[in-house]
Homo-oligomer: A and B are copies of this chain.
Amino acid sequence: MSGRSVAPAGKHWLVEMYQTPELDDVARIRRALRHAVAESGVRMIRLQLHHFGVGRGVTGVALLAQSHISIHTWPERRYAALDIFMCGSKSNPRKALDALREALAPGRVRVRRFRRGLGRV
């Protein structure tokens, strides 16, 4: 391997959604993730969601050919922690985030953006 090689690049966004309704609705969260995947130029490998029970949170991940989108919700706090990790030049985390905002309707969002795997290896 060349010392000049760079590791593959990826965009990893940590997303906090506050003041968000109906975060115990697993069907709603499934639709939101499917919508985000469809909008962002990536391919779904598998969508895995787990509901902790009536009125309780949902946790899950959309495993992608270009990495993943995860969601963990606390409906009693109206809070969800998401991360959007996308590799490849055709994937678009901005479109994924827009789709998730549209579907989940948070009152307030915080996004932190990072690059993954950059630099010489």
Contacts and interface: CB of A to CB of B under 8 A. Distances in A.
Contacts of A16: 7, 116-117
A10 interface: yes
Interface SS of chain A: helix, strand, loop or mixed?
strand
Given A7-B74, A87-B72, A48 B50 contact: no
A77 to B, nearest CB: 5
A112 interface: yes
Interface stretch (A26-34, A62-70, A96-104): A62-70
19 contacts: A7-B16, A8-B79, A10-B81, A12-B14, A14-B116, A45-B59, A46-B48, A46-B50, A59-B64, A59-B67, A61-B61, A67-B72, A68-B72, A70-B85, A72-B87, A78-B121, A81-B85, A81-B116, A81-B117
A60 interface: yes
A74 B8 contact: yes
Given A7-B18, A8-B77, A12-B14, 6 more contacts: A14-B114, A16-B116, A45-B50, A67-B70, A72-B85, A78-B121
